[in-house]
Each structure stands twice: as structure tokens, then as C-alpha cells.
Amino acid sequence: MTASLLDPSAREWKETLQHVQHDLYHVPDYVVLDARLYGGTPAAFHYRADGRRLLIPLIVREIAGSPWRDALSPYGYPGPVSDAAPGDEAFWGRACAALARTLRQAGVISVFVRMHPLLDAPSPVLSRAGALVRHGETVSMDLTVSVEQMWRQTRGDHRNHINRARRAGTRVVFDDWSRLAEWVEVYHDNMRRVGAADYYFFTYEHLSALHDAVGEHMHLAVALEGDEVVGGNTFFEYDGIATGYVSSTRRARGRYADELLYDSVRRWCKQRGAEVFHLGGGKGGRPDSLFSYKAGFSPGRHPFHTWRVVTDRPAYDSLVRARRPDADPADLTGTFPSYR
């Protein structure tokens, strides 16, 4: 049995990914770049026993004013991946115990993990090891059905808007990365309009570096009116799973570039052999207007959870009492970690 925290250059990280079903969020290059945004250190918890493997990508952060650190998963839907079946609760239970022990020995007192809605993990085992909190659902499009079936599954208002955008001459082009800087301006305008947190203002430099790092697994779709960029989607395509990363369109009455982009991306990914297009959910997983919008493209639904684990209970409790005296350290279902 081995259990350790790996750095991105570790041979075991890439070897494990060769044996387990995973997504781009689990690839070292992605974790490295996201860690820069968080101001943390990229890592992965790795466990191997009885010929089976488990891996969880993490970003380890210093806790200011304390000797401890904590960890969280990178942006997106990483979650633990393993070649052990979810029904092998004995293996998963040992892996969870090893996670807590390994992180505690490294001075990491808590870990927050965003689960992958499309990759199975044993909920009962994870719940016993920490708190598994359900936030809502995400939406996916089944790309194995016919284009006609996908269109029938699309809500009427979306179909109407897509048709109107096409009649207006809006067109979508793929992987013209010379358009990235222009689209980033559109994206930032929208982030300012909705009052997004600083983290979500992904820069041209970050998006360009991410594309350089993951290559053909990342794509850019831009909607054009004439030669003007009026919207765009960045998305990943990895092992049959297409996933939206960040997207935005210019706000204007009668302009429906956003719906046209979603329709164009799903058709494009289907032609390339992808099996599913994961749209994600509402803000924080909530059933809000964003979720309702995405739900209009497909009936596919998946529960979305986060997993919270305290690895050093005395250290965690003392930090919560010192910084959030009104919080209950035993309650892992609200803001986590409570001291942040």
C-alpha cells in the first residue's frame, strides 16, 4: 500500500490517469494553471493498494496567520477517480482513511472537493469519511442520439432563438484563436455586469496558457455578426466528454448568439465523436435562472455534490473557534472550511 501527495511532475500521476476514467480536470497541466489563480500549490493525493489506484487533484493553500494548510480541488469538476469499482467499499474506505492520514501528516487540516457529476464514486463511503453535500443538479446533452432528437429535446424558446440568430446571419467559427483577445473583452464586460468575483475574470494570458498546455483538448467557439465577435464559448473535449469552461455573449435585445453557440458546439462535438456535452449547473449548483436556461437544452440531469473532510480535528476546531466563534466546527454542510 502506498499513499502520498504527488507534485505535477510525479510519474505516478500520469501513470494513474492511464488506468482510470477521468476528465481534463485531473490532468497535471490543468491543475498547475488553476493553482496559480488560487495562489496555491498543485498536488494530487495518490493511493494504491492491491493493484488498484485512486487519485484526487488538489490545490494546497497556506492558512495565513497559522502553521497549517488546507486543500481544495481545482475549478470545475475534478473529484476522486479510481479503477476500483464504486461497489468496492473496502478499497474506497481504506483510501479515504489514507487521505486523512496523509494530509494530516503534511499539515493539511481540511480538504474541499468538487465531485464530478458524470464519474461515479461511492456516496456512502465518502459520507462516512466526511460530509457529502448535495447542491443541486447539472445538465448534460446526450450526443449519441440523432441531431433531430437533440433538436426535439431543446425547449421551444431556445429553438426559436437559434433560428432567429441564424436568420440574422450570426455564424459560429471554431478554434480561430486569433479571436481570443476580442472575446475576452466581451467576457470581462459580462463579468463586470453580473458582479462576478475576481477569480472568474480569467485573463487572456491564462486562457492562452491553458490552451498551450492542453492543446487539442481545449477549443474556442466564437459567434460573429459580420466581423464582430458577439459571443464565445471555451470548452474542453476529453475522452468522449465535452465540458463547457467559460462562456459569454454581448447583451443586446434580439441577439441570441448564446443559444446558437450551444447548439453549434453540441453539433460540432457530436461530429467529432464526443458522447456527452456537460453544461454544468446553476451558480453554486443551485436551481436558479442559469440552471433553468441550461435545462432548456436537454433532459439530462446529474446530482452535484461537494465533499468536505476534516483531517485534523483539534487543529480545525481551534481555528474555527478563534476566527469564527459563532460557527459550529462540527457542521461541515455550510461554509467550508468555516475559518475562511
Sign of CA dihedral 142, 145, 151, 154: negative
Is the CB of residue 317 less than 8 Å from the CB of residue 179? Answer: no
- Residue type for position 252: A
Locus of grid cell 433538436: 151
CA distance 72 to 67: 18
pLDDT at 251 (0 to 100): 72
Is the CB of residue 29 less than 8 Å from the CB of residue 42? Answer: no
pLDDT at 254 (0 to 100): 67
Say what the pTM is. 0.95
CA distance 31 to 44: 9
Taking CA 151 as the corner, what is the angle to CA 145 and CA 154, rounded to the nearest 5 degrees?
110
CA distance 44 to 71: 10
Is the CB of residue 25 less than 8 Å from the CB of residue 77? Answer: yes
pLDDT tens for the 340 residues of the chain, in order: 999 999 999 999 999 999 999 999 999 999 999 999 999 999 999 999 999 999 999 999 999 999 999 999 999 999 999 999 999 999 999 999 999 999 999 999 999 999 999 999 999 999 999 999 999 999 999 999 999 999 999 999 999 999 999 999 999 999 999 999 999 999 999 899 888 888 889 999 999 999 999 999 999 999 999 999 999 999 999 999 999 999 999 876 667 999 999 999 999 999 999 999 999 999 888 999 999 999 999 999 999 999 999 999 999 999 999 999 999 999 999 999 999 9
- Residue type for position 296: G
CA distance 88 to 102: 21
User: What's the DSSP call for residue 115?
Assistant: P
SS (H, E, C) 6-41: ECCCCHHHHHHHCCCCCCHHHCHHHHHHHHHHHCCE
C-alpha cell at 35: 493553482
Spell out the domains of the chain, with CATH numbers in brackets.
2-135+305-323 (3.40.630.30), 144-274 (3.40.630.30)
pLDDT at 97 (0 to 100): 98
pLDDT at 270 (0 to 100): 98
- Residue type for position 248: S
